[in-house]
Structure 1
Amino acid sequence: MDSEKTFESIPDDLFLEIFSRLSSILIARCRCVSKRWASILYRKDFTELFLTKSSARPRLLFAVDKGFQFYFYSSPQSQNQSTLEVDFHTNVGVGINENLCSYESGLIHVHVTDLWLSKKSLCVICNPITRRYVNLPELDKYKDSRSSLGFDPIDKQFKVLFMHNNGEWVHHVLTLGTEDLRWRKIQCPFTYGHFGLAKCINGVLYYLASTFGGSSGRIVCFDVRSEKFKFIDGKHFSSTSYTDLINYKGKLGGVNLDYDCDRSCYCEMYLWVLEDVEKQKWSRYDYSLPTTQTCHFRFDMHIAGMTATGEFVFAEFHTCSSKSFNVIYFNPEKNTLQSVNIQGLEGNNGYMYSRVNTFVDYIEDLSANDLKHITSKPRQRRDTSRELSRSAPSTKNKQTRSFLQNKYELLANLE
């Protein structure tokens, strides 16, 4: 069988179906095989089909902070197995930081708050799957500074919002993928202090803030597309208690956890959901989560988020060589708990105690892969805790065609 003629005769709809089942790394390589392949694989309908396929197989993403490096792993977001192995993706050296790490639509954002021999603040954007990253232009370093990554689903644009306190809070914005990668100063009508991590939902960045010297909560909303600010009364939250912001079925949710060790670490979860942004109407839900034989809640557990299928995911803040790392799924509709042991994170790189950032519904998005500037490839250090789970595919066009030819024949037989 002549593979060249066979591929030219494949209908476009079957061609798209075959390629949508590949990883984003293979897609990037296939775009270099021929002009025809590139023209199809850069089309908007293929990008959307790939995102749909990827959304059907979400993963848990783990960013492990080892002091001078962030190591990125992922595992299937599955509750059908009690034990899961992680896949190692890449590591990025970012200096010393305060664990300010966030995820949005396929990209990881790291805010570096302290660098040795440096007087600058630094933001790093990384794609764990493609192992590409970019250091954003440096800004003057201040004691209080925060930055967050937002994504506009309409224009398919990523933007970074940077805030620092210079007697008052000053705001800058940077748009990824533009010819001129630079910070632009923007005006914010609020002078609230920022605390906690931001959450981007449907193109709006939400972050908790408070008035100077006060404990009353505010939620600042930043529209990624229009770059306009507004605030919501966050009277249910305060700067004196820890609140996790989550995406609750497309709405903003705020979660507080209360542990009671006198009752075997009995966990109370208080959830507030913003039902109406304009009317600032909130709904409250209370859940009691007792420790079971297989699900043990600890003080160092937090809400990593809510999956697209409606389960809350609890994860530990830290991992160490002396104990395993666990995540717990809570289904509020069925009132069930399921614990999953994640193997491959403990004892990493000689560090006995490492901070873990856990993100739910991690998917591959070609929009993130196609951004300009995210082209630097970090020097890879071997993950000393375990070998890579799989070797990288060959980059040769002939081998790529052979691999896809087998995919095509398999699908043809299924038809």
Structure 2
Amino acid sequence: MDKPTSFETLPLDLQMDILSRLPLKSLVKCIVISKQWASLIRGEDFKNLYLRRSSTRPRLMIWVKRSIPSPPEHEVLWYHSVYDQEEKLMYSRYDKEVLCHSVYQEEEPLLSSGQQQLRIPREPMMGSRVSQPVRGLICLQLETKFVICNPGTKMFRKLPEIQANESMVHCFFGYDEATKVFKVLCVTLSGPGTSTKYQVCTVGSGGETWRRIKCKCDHQPYTEGLFKGGVVYYGAHDTNTDKSMIMCFNLTSEKFSAIKLPKQINFTRRGWDVVNYNGKIAVSIMVDEYTGLLRIWARNEIGVWLKEDIVVSRWKETIETRRWKETVANRRWFRFKGTIGTKELVFAPDSFVDEAPTVLYYNTETQKLRRFTFEHLFNGPPLIGSDYVCTFLDHVDSTWLM
């Protein structure tokens, strides 16, 4: 009679294939089963396999900073780990909450497909930023402090605090394919008449430190970062020539370069975004929300900028709500976030007023416009006033930081 087969006796590639089909929540539990399972799940081969499989089911992530009534006193585990006791007590005076929520962006029903949530209680509103997700990780910035976080596993790694007194700090996040490490770029502006500082921190190098690097073109960042092909792109303003440009930071060489823009683009004007438009680096702006006019400048393979105007059909009727006038008056407009695998254009606001956040999908071929509202996103106290939301495309599940 044959002996029963255990999981450990299966070929290693079959073990990895089975485990790679589990959701992150289950993998976190598997780590504590045995040292052998933990070693397998944390290994480089499994990490890459899981990422490849997850990349076929990309996620839409929203990151909401909301105001809530003062909750009952409770232990804040995240701050126990990330900040010291004195800072935790200071931040507990804030009645704020940060919520990270993601769903599979190309599957129906969108609002209930593979939902994940991460809550960070009482996070201060001012000085807090989140980066574009890269390989399943995000970089959280609280003024001069930084944390790398895996929202799916709720695990994180604290980075050293950057020295930047009374400065404006811009943070960008990416992955260096050559050395297989994540890197954080910080651009620090100290004020008029002072030089800009550029620093890089390599994540996972052991004893992370900030290293000063040079940039021949002093600039002020104006947009969020876009990571693509080992390079971080962001809109900036040359402080010497007063011209707008796209700055490029190569994660491997740690060198800067600049891409010239058409004269019509000025990043000091509110509303411009750097986006991924059908796989191309593009700059976009909502010219008119009443008519749904979106203007895109996309850079082709030979480096030429091509302008494209898109009029979103039924735009006003679709986004019109009982708070439409207040929303427009407060400039909380929908912004173009990029395209997804279905070739649809995705739009989302950067804030909302006493209501649930919404995303719009638009198909330029069929002219079909779909609206998704996260009605039941928040379980708990109601929202108060205006809240800030970041929307990201192509987030994936990964086992980094496990």
TM-score w.r.t. the length of structure 2 is: 0.79
Partner of 2:137: 107
Partner of 1:232: 259
CA drift at 1:140: 2.2
Answer with 33-42 or 201-210: which moved more.
33-42
Whole-angstrom distance in 1 between the partners of 2:375 and 2:317? 16
Confirm whether residue 127 of structure 1 aligns to residue 156 of structure 2.
Answer: no
Change in 2 beyond 3 A, CA 1:249/1:142: farther
Partner of 1:142: 166
CA drift at 1:309: 3.5
Change in 2 beyond 3 A, CA 1:343/1:75: farther
Confirm whether residue 172 of structure 1 aligns to residue 199 of structure 2.
Answer: yes
Change in 2 beyond 3 A, CA 1:256/1:179: same
Partner of 1:312: 345
RMSD, matched Cα: 2.9
Partner of 1:355: 388
CA drift at 1:207: 1.3
Change in 2 beyond 3 A, CA 1:54/1:152: same
Confirm whether residue 16 of structure 1 aligns to residue 9 of structure 2.
Answer: no
Change in 2 beyond 3 A, CA 1:294/1:22: farther
Partner of 2:66: 66
Whole-angstrom distance in 1 between the partners of 2:195 and 2:121? 32
Contact 1:215 1:240 in 2 (8 A): no
Confirm whether residue 291 of structure 1 aligns to residue 314 of structure 2.
Answer: yes
CA drift at 1:231: 0.6
Query: Gaps spanning 5+ residues in structure 1: where?
Result: 114-120, 371-415
Contact 1:308 1:361 in 2 (8 A): no
Amino acid at match of 1:180: G
Whole-angstrom distance in 2 between the partners of 1:41 and 1:135? 22
Amino acid at match of 2:5: K
Q: Deviations over 1:14-40 (max 9, x none)?
A: 322221111234324424433543454
The number of aligned residues is 355
Contact 1:96 1:112 in 2 (8 A): no
Task: Give matches, 1:378-397, under 5 Å.
Answer: none
Whole-angstrom distance in 1 between the partners of 2:223 and 2:3? 55
Which secondary structure state, in structure 2, belongs to the residue aligned with residue 18 of structure 1? Answer: helix
Contact 1:60 1:74 in 2 (8 A): yes
Amino acid at match of 2:61: L
Partner of 1:197: 224
Change in 2 beyond 3 A, CA 1:185/1:52: same
CA drift at 1:79: 6.0
**Identical columns (%):** 26
Whole-angstrom distance in 1 between the partners of 2:251 and 2:150? 20
Amino acid at match of 2:14: L
Contact 2:157 2:401 in 1 (8 A): no
Change in 2 beyond 3 A, CA 1:82/1:47: closer
Contact 1:268 1:289 in 2 (8 A): yes
Partner of 2:243: 216
Task: Give matches, 1:207-286, under 5 Å.
Answer: 207-212=234-239, 216-235=243-262, 236-238=264-266, 239-260=268-289, 265-276=290-301, 280-286=303-309
Which secondary structure state, in structure 2, belongs to the residue aligned with residue 130 of structure 1? Answer: coil
Change in 2 beyond 3 A, CA 1:234/1:25: same
